[in-house]
Amino acid sequence: MDDPNNLAARLRALEDREAVRDLIASYGPLADSGDGEAAAALWTEDGTYEVLGFAKAVGRAEIAALIDGPVHRALMADGCAHMLGPITITISGDSAQARGHSLVLRHTGSGFEAHRVAANRWTLARTAAGWRVTHRINALLDGTEEARLLLAPN
């Protein structure tokens, strides 16, 4: 029979992975609904969201401003869908790393087209409120090594 403490540790690891996966999956619907405040709440107070070649937002107010800003609002006005995953997750105590793809689709009037395909690396921390993002870096998969490295194991 399995050691109960080992089983408890395994269960906690599975619950942590699912919580991280759920947090990351919730970003797309929040971005598409235009809820900048709720999207920013996925980050710690001093968290960072870095979109290479476009923006670096530090803190929840700046992260919310990305969603509330003219570039994102114009994309929403056309019709868009932010999709993330699948992701790989590595948890070490109260910190986690996740990496994977994101795809933003844009409505063109006659269908949808891939507007942005990117590599993502997420750094997360367990907080009193649950898992929160401390840093997300996103880079277009445009052939650059910098983007590919975001997908590489640590």
pLDDT band at 4 (very low <50, low <70, confident <90, very high): low
Model confidence pLDDT, tens digit, residues 35-71: 999 999 999 999 999 999 999 999 999 999 999 999 9
pLDDT band at 1 (very low <50, low <70, confident <90, very high): very low
Task: Classify burial at 14, counting beta carbons within 10 Å of its beta carbon; exposed 0-12, middle 13-18, buried 19 or more.
Answer: exposed
Look up the CATH number of the domain holding residue 121: 3.10.450.50
Residue with tokens 């750094």: 123
Q: What is the mean pLDDT of residues 4-22?
A: 92
pLDDT over threshold 90, residue 150:
yes
Return the pLDDT at 42: 98
Q: Which residue segment(s) compose the domain that 60 sits in?
A: 4-151
Query: What is the bridge-based pairing of β-strands 95-107 and 80-92?
Result: antiparallel
Q: Which residues contact 132 (CB under 8 A, 6 or more apart)?
A: 23, 42, 43, 44, 47, 124, 125
Q: What is the mean pLDDT of residues 123-150?
A: 97
Amino acid at 31: A
DSSP 8-class letter at 41: T
Model confidence pLDDT, tens digit, residues 93-114: 999 999 999 999 999 989 999 9
**Structure-derived torsion over alpha carbons of residues 91, 136, 102, 148, reported in degrees to the nearest 10:** -80
Return the pLDDT at 3: 67
Whether the full predicted model's pTM is greater than 0.75, yes or no, is: yes
Using the Cα atoms of residue 141, residue 102, residue 91 and residue 56 in order, give the sign of their dihedral: positive
The total domain count for the chain is: 1
